[in-house]
Amino acid sequence: MTADGNGSAEEGFAKVNDPGLPQVVSWNLTARCNLACEHCYIDAGGRSRGDEADTAQCLATIDQLADLNPGCLLIMTGGEPLLRPDLHELTRAASDRGMTVVLGSNGTLIDRSVARGLAAAGVSGVGISLDSLAQPGLHDRFRGCFGAWQSAVDGMKACRDEGLDFLVQTSVFSWNRDELATMADYVADLGATSWNVYFLVCTGRGQGLTDLPAAEYELVLAELAVLRQRIADRTMLVPRCAPQFKRVADGQAAGTLPTLDSGCPAAGHYLRIDPRGRVTPCPYIPIEAGRIEPGGLAAAWYESPLFASLRNRSLLGGRCGRCEWRDACGGCRARALASGGELMAEDPACAYQPGGGSSTLPVGDALYSREARTTMPWSEEARDRLQRIPSFVRGLVVERVERQARGRGVSMVTSDMLRRQRPSLAAVLRR
């Protein structure tokens, strides 16, 4: 079966039956939250819903993840994960099994003591949401709590002061779109490992929100491509839920910074677990592919027809199916589903008309699979820091750091050189 005559069933079948491993797992540990954000995709609130996975179930799930891929990046989020009393037990268990554990938080509950506790419990970093600099009141209103902006900034500074990596996560709307340049410099100066810029998917409480028009998406992505170059030596800028950024950035003369994945990651190297233990392709695709019962994660990843169809880009419809960037982008499947109810339809946020160029970006997960072989001396601190980077990008990190070291005539890789690369969270953390 093909979409608009592109690709073949045989090619699609081969891709479906060679899915690789889930490299990034986003886990909504709870639907409880101390905020009430307007765009929350799981409609989180102040009360437990009574059917969330308990500690024993979560520990068993960690065992399943370790059996499936012990080197994965595990994003523990919510709701607000800090509201789970067993959070440290879960992060320590996952870290001890070899996973890189990061937290997705609104930041309002983090002070220096909390940051120290998270680091001691095996957390490698924290993602904190911040939507404005010039308009703290609008951030507070959007997040549903007076003082949320100041608490989030204080949480970032607490992580920084305790040496715990953090990144900043911003959702783009018409009311903060003009702040992007200022935000970029602020995030970089603050010391964030990354700035993740999210584009709205109208799910959960966000169903009634107004998204940017497709033409505006193009303008924002073009600006982000420039800003990414500007802060590259300090912070990595990563657009999220906008796989067409690959096309936009590649088309710019200064676009020399590659991205690490191939468009929409859902079911490709990414899966999500919701608070009730249901497995879905991503947080914004609320279609169950399995559950965390014994063996459920592997079954969902390898056997789910839903996951298989998402991996087969010959099934894409509309402009996405005809596009020469199909394999390097694929459009946002969640947005297609949310806007028109068709998972494999064209991405309505993309204004591109197929036929105007060709993709030069890497396809598939080749960048993720490079073995981490060092070919020159590394300091002990640098080797320790390398182990805090998710296993699937270590090979790429080693390659880049050693190439830069040789170019500068440096004979040994140090932790400071590795810290400047900062890909451990920047390229992969999503919330």
**Cα–Cα dist 338/305, whole Å:** 20
Q: Is residue 86 a contact partner of residue 319, using CB atoms and an 8 Å limit?
A: no
Query: Is 231 domain-assigned?
Result: yes
Give yes or no: residues 292 and 382 share one domain: no
Considering the chain, what percentage of its residues have pLDDT values greater than 70? 85
Alpha helices in 286-351 (DSSP H): 296-303, 305-311, 318-322, 333-340
Q: What letter represents residue 70's amino acid?
A: P
Indicate whether 380 belongs to any domain. yes
Helix (H) or strand (E) holding 384: helix 380-386
Indicate whether 360 belongs to any domain: no
Per the listing, tokens 């204004």 go with 351
Residue where one domain finishes, among candidates 291, 312, 333: 312
Handedness of CA 210, 127, 95, 83 (dihedral sign): negative
Whole-number Å distance between alpha carbons of 27 and 31: 11
**Global pTM value:** 0.85
pLDDT recorded at residue 360: 43
**Mean pLDDT, rounded, for 241-269:** 74
Average pLDDT over residues 311-320: 94
pLDDT band, very low/low/confident/very high, at 247 (cuts 50, 70, 90): confident
Q: Per the structure, how many domains does the chain have? A: 2
Are residues 175 and 277 part of one domain?
A: yes
Same domain, 393 and 298: no
In the predicted structure, residue 155 carries a pLDDT above the cut 80: yes
3-class secondary structure, 293: coil
Contact call for residues 116 and 134 (beta carbons, < 8 A): no
Q: Which two tokens stand for residue 346?
A: 């064209």
Sort 253 into a burial class: Cβ within 10 Å, 0-12 / 13-18 / 19+.
Answer: exposed
Which two structure tokens, joined as six digits, stand for 25? 């797992």
Whether residue 336 lies inside any domain: the answer is no
CB-based contact 3:49 (threshold 8 Å): no
Per DSSP, the three-state class of 371 is: coil
How many angstroms separate the CA atoms of 400 and 398, rounded? 6
**Which residue reads 């028109």 in tokens?**
340
With a cut of 60, say whether residue 428 has pLDDT above it: no
262 is in which domain, residue-wise? 17-312
In angstroms, the CA 281 to CA 22 distance is: 10
pLDDT in tens, 356-411: 555 444 444 444 555 678 899 999 988 887 876 766 677 777 887 888 888 889 89
Q: Output the average pLDDT for the chain.
A: 86
Ranges of H-type helices in 136-179: 136-143, 148-161
Over residues 20-31, the pLDDT tens digits come to: 889 899 999 999
In a domain, 340, yes or no: no
User: What is the C-alpha to C-alpha distance for residues 425 and 70, in angstroms, rounded to an integer?
Assistant: 17
